[in-house]
Structure 1
Amino acid sequence: MTNPTHGPRTQGFPTQAPAGQAPPPPGFAQRQDLSFAPPARPPRRRRGPLVILSVLAAVIVLALGFVVGYLIYRPADGPAASPLAAQDGTAAGDAGNSFSAAGNPAAGAGGVFDLRRGAVFVQTNDPTTNEVIAFARSDDGRLHEVGRYKTGGVGSGSFEDSAHGIVLGTTAGESSPQHNIDSAQLLYVANAGSDTISVFRVAADGLQLVSNVPSGGTKPVSLTVNHGLLYALNSGELDDRFVLKFPDEFLDNCTHGDQPSVSGFRIDVEGRLAPIPASTRPLSGGGRSGCSQVSFTPDGTQLVVSERLATLPQQPPENGAIDTFTVNPDGTLGAKAVQNTSGAGPFGFSFTKDGTALFSEQNHADKGKGTASSYTMLGNGTLKAISKGVPNSGTDSCWIVPTNDGKLAFTSNALGGGSISTYRIEDTGALTLLHPQAADGHTRDGTFDVALSHDSRWLYQLNSHFGLLQVFQVNSDGTLKFIEEHKAFDITLPENGGQLPPFGIAAF
């Protein structure tokens, strides 16, 4: 079967591309006891004052020494604490990573890593033990691996055609990939192989697993959080394979198994999830539903799902659909609206802070036919198109993220050599293409998930073909300056039997 989503991959898979533990901060120096012998044969009337002054001076010296030592070696966030242990029992940073402030370019202010100030998270999607890899971000945007943390679930071991497999934020909302709030306390992860959702608490120096619960369906691939609610998109796919026969047979997810659906959960203050009764709802229906992403609108009143394939009356499946649900006060979903799209194959989407919806459209991997569209949400939950299918010359446009000021949007194009395109967002919400390729010479096939830092200064891109995490600086004109890349995963290419499993990225 030829994969209508990504098309034949007869080329574009070159050979794989290339990714210390320092002693703990020194303690205070051993201080010798100080003695103060009285001067030889002093007059009796002056001995008492001299001794008192000498003792007072010694106390002052010792106190000053303690204060100076504390200021030099104090941690950034209170009393010293040992790094959190990774879930496999390995201390954070024990994978050949140095935590020395001096000489480590990834050290943050004061030489201390703090994932709550700047971080990037990706997941392995490993079919044996799914893990999240945590990277700390320095002021120059560079990354340093802090640790790898088991989710308590397993991945599918295969590429997932989805967006927002990892979500960062709080119980109140998302800080990445959708920037509705500016806080990074909890990390939510979809375990596509074990049909579960994991929640981590983000500490300064690592992740702490809070819970791992069933997702309410089969194969969760996308998550969203808002106002104490979490909804999971379950693809229903029962076949974990992506590559059926290289180079021309690939499997569309959401098309061979249970009907795709969404399920809701309440989140308590600790990040624990509790399923909401009667919250599970199917998508548009039919046997082919290439579900891609679920997200709340910024105000949390609507839930939106993109389907790059959809079985709708009098419409070819390749056109896809967008489903919207009203969110009831009790967390369940109300009326569903299924609507046609401006372009073919809606995939990833995001919202500006004023509520304009931006969609990437893959056009089913037709070479050079990637597009993006923008919509405004009407009061009844339906979408009204602003810009329709604005081309970017890329192939397989799948993920899109806007800057915090709502002026620029970046779309990643997975194939055709891989590229990241930049659009200008007009005040009306209309899209204008600025740069078909914003990062010349540093992207390649497999340019997948993208995320922006919370200040929109840095863009991070996950390349699942080569296991790379790339770092770019965002320039004011919408171009991207390549900073570095990390070899985050060991990948087997499809021609050698690989399935390209990693998916999902969140940044802060």
Structure 2
Amino acid sequence: MAREATTSEMGMSKGQTGHLYIQTNEIDNAIIHYTRQADGKLAEVARIKTGGAGSGEFKPISGQESAPNSYEGAGSVIITSDRRFLFATNGGDNSVSSFRLESDGRLTLLDVKSTGNPVEGRSGTAKSLAFAPSTRTLFVLHAFGPDHLRLMSVDAEGMLKTRPEQYTVNTYSKRNRVSTMVVVSPNEELVLVGTTFDEPIAHTGLYPDGSPILWVQRAGGALHSIASNAPDPDGLAVFALQKDGSLGTARFYDAKGGSPFYIAFLNQRPNTFVIGYAVGDGCSICTIEKNGSIKIGPLVKIDTSAGLPSELCWLAIAPDDRTIYATNFGYSNISSYRINGSGLEIACDPACPKVPGDGTARGLNGTVTSGPSDSWISPDGAYLYQIYGNASKLVSYSTQPDGSLKEIGSVKIPYNGSQGLAGF
């Protein structure tokens, strides 16, 4: 049986229990490296340039000059399962940075490569990453298509090579879809892609209060929601992963809710994953069947009395697979679920008080928001870390037995643009 590395062998001093990383998404993009203390609090160690460009405070997805959650996505910073490399997107110039990850948490920039998609307009939209170790393939997702998904090869030293393959989550009738995140199934047989809109909100415009317009008028005068899978049953894209890292033809599934934004596999049940819905206002638990098809369970909604939609967009699953923490962008807070056998039930809704921003950002429902986005839970399940971009805060919470969260501290992060969390 393999021996666990000691704290000193991992390069951590007494009182440190791990490391956490976030990208600033500034024009001169950088990764902020924090150490995690034994009490769950964070201490900044260094800022390491990615060699690429972020979008800054500009939000490409909506065209807003300054707004949180720039790319409406998740997973822009990831760490390989062997903890050798960290990868980060540079959304401003559509590139990816590769870092060597030392045992003491230090990062060394190894390579920066273009995703292969040209930047059209003010900013690119490279947003989400997933890695398949067996083929050493890095999947890079962009908010806008038609080439939403591009591939890179990663050699043994962490150097990147852009591959020619390109894939879309558009359909015959939907040519401008907005994707959210890419995930490789634990058995490396499938690649799943979430979606949020069938038309970019930059095309539909904003209301006077700054909230985006969710409806467009189609032929005949009928209003149609631009949220994906609402009502058309095709919001989840699933590709077969081939032995050379390439992908088969996409299959589109009815995700059973509007804007199937986030996809998270359970830690101990590799054929089971959870979807968080930005416009469906809840979560569902899903399984990969023996024939490779996807079975999606019923949508379990949170309390939406504060306005529709809540924009439940990010998930963090406890290591024991018992609790799910769901981030509500529009509500500026977090809700929690219990996994009850093969189903879900609400644990605490909300699980923490609302975190106020500076009053300049609004959610899809028009509520003023502090723009929470990516979250990350510690390997022991004791602490949850949450980005609040419009409040310029990365907040540390201690998790409680009833599913609630207790704020224990925060660190300052760059305003509005910061995104992506990964750690060990």
Fold shared, TM-score > 0.5 on shorter chain: yes
Alignment of 1:129-140 (within 5 A): 129-140=28-39
Please, which of 319, 324, 342 is the counterpart of residue 228 of structure 2? Answer: 319
Q: What is residue 195 of structure 1 aligned with on the other side?
A: 94
Which 4+ runs in 1 deviate beyond 6 A? none
Shift of 1:206: 2.1
Residue of structure 2 equivalent to 1:343: 257
TM-score normalised by L of structure 2: 0.77
> Which residue of the other structure, out of 271, 286, 299, is the alignment partner of 1:375?
286
SS of structure 2 residue aligned to 1:465: helix
**How far 1:229 sits from its partner (Å)?**
2.0
Residue of structure 2 in register with 1:433 after alignment: 346
Question: Is it true that 1:359 corresponds to 2:306 in the alignment?
Answer: no
Q: Give, in whole Å, the separation in 2 of the partners of 1:121 and 1:141.
A: 15
Identify the match of residue 127 of structure 2 among 221, 227, 241.
221
Q: Identify, as 1 or 2, the structure richer in strand.
A: 2
The equivalent residue for 1:333 is 247
CA-CA distance at 1:507 after TM superposition:
2.6
95, 107, 123: which one pairs with 1:207?
107
Alignment of 1:93-132 (within 5 A): 109-110=13-14, 118-127=18-27, 129-132=28-31
Counterparts of 1:317 and 1:215, CA distance in 2? 27
Letter in 1 for 2:113: V
- Structure 2 gap segments, 5+ residues each: 1-6, 59-69, 119-124, 200-223, 230-234, 358-369
Are 2:270 and 1:270 aligned? no
Matching of residue 309 in structure 1 with residue 197 in structure 2: yes
Code of the residue aligned with 2:325 in structure 1: it is F
Q: Once the 2 structures are TM-superposed, how far is the Cα of residue 231 of structure 1 from its aligned partner?
A: 0.4
| Counterpart in the other structure of 1:65 | none
CA distance 1:443–1:458, shift in 2 (3 Å): farther
Equivalenced residues, count? 350
SS of equivalent to 2:98: strand
Letter of the 1:280 partner, please give it: Q
2:167 corresponds to: 281
Q: Does 1:411 align with 2:326?
A: yes
Return the offset for 1:471. 0.3
1:96 aligns with: none
In the alignment, the residues of structure 1 paired with residue 117 and residue 380 of structure 2 have an alpha-carbon distance, to the nearest angstrom, of 35
Aligned to 1:450: 375
Instruction: Give a deviation string over 1:378-410, Cα, whole Å, max 9, x none.
Output: 345432112324334372111012111111111
Shift of 1:442: 5.0
Matches within 5 A, 1:474-485: 474-485=399-410
Match of residue 259, structure 1, among 146, 150, 170 = 146
Q: Which residue of 1 aligns with 2:78?
A: 167
Q: 1:473 to 1:331 in 2, by over 3 A?
A: same
1:274/1:119 CA distance change after superposition, 3 Å: same
1:69-108 deviations in Å (ceiling 9; x for gaps): xxxxxx9349x9xxxxxxxxxxxxxxxxxxxxxxxxxxx5
Asked if the contact 1:450/1:460 (under 8 Å) is kept, the reply is yes
Answer yes or no: is 1:232 the counterpart of 2:132: no
TM-score, normalization by structure 1: 0.65
Partner Cα distance (1:338, 1:381) in 2: 13
- Rate the CA distance shift 1:307–1:402 in 2: closer, same or farther, 3 A: same
Partner of 1:470: helix, strand, or coil? strand
The separation in 2 between residues aligned to 1:223 and 1:453, in whole angstroms, is 20
* Offset at residue 284 of structure 1 (A): 2.5
Alignment check: 8 A CA contact 1:460 1:472 kept = yes
Decide whether the 8 Å contact of 2:348 with 2:402 is kept in 1.
Answer: no
Given residue 210 of structure 1, which amino acid in structure 2 is its aligned partner?
Answer: L
> 1:94 — aligned with what?
none
Q: What secondary structure sits across from 1:415 in the alignment?
A: coil
Matches of 2:94 and 2:43, distance apart in 1: 30
SS in 2 for 1:343: coil
Q: Structure 2: how far apart are the matches of 1:145 and 1:436?
A: 31
Question: 2:242 and 2:42 mapped to 1: Cα distance?
Answer: 41
CA contact (8 A) 2:147 2:166 kept: no
Amino acid aligned to 1:436 = D
Larger Rg: 1
C-alpha displacement at 1:375, in angstroms? 1.2
8 Å Cα contact 1:292/1:348 also seen in 2: yes
> 2:273 is matched by which residue type in structure 1?
A
Match of 1:468 in 2: 393
Q: 1:362 to 1:442 in 2, by over 3 A?
A: same
Q: Deviation per CA, 1:133-181: give whole Å up to 9, x if none.
A: 110111111111000010010002232211111112x2xx4xxxxxxxx
Q: Give unmatched runs, 5+ long, in structure 1.
A: 1-74, 81-107, 174-182, 236-253, 364-368, 492-499
Q: Spell out, residue by residue over 1:250-290, the C-alpha distance to the aligned partner (whole angstroms, 9 max, x if none).
A: xxxx3xxx42421122222222222344x311112333312
Q: CA deviation at 1:110?
A: 3.1
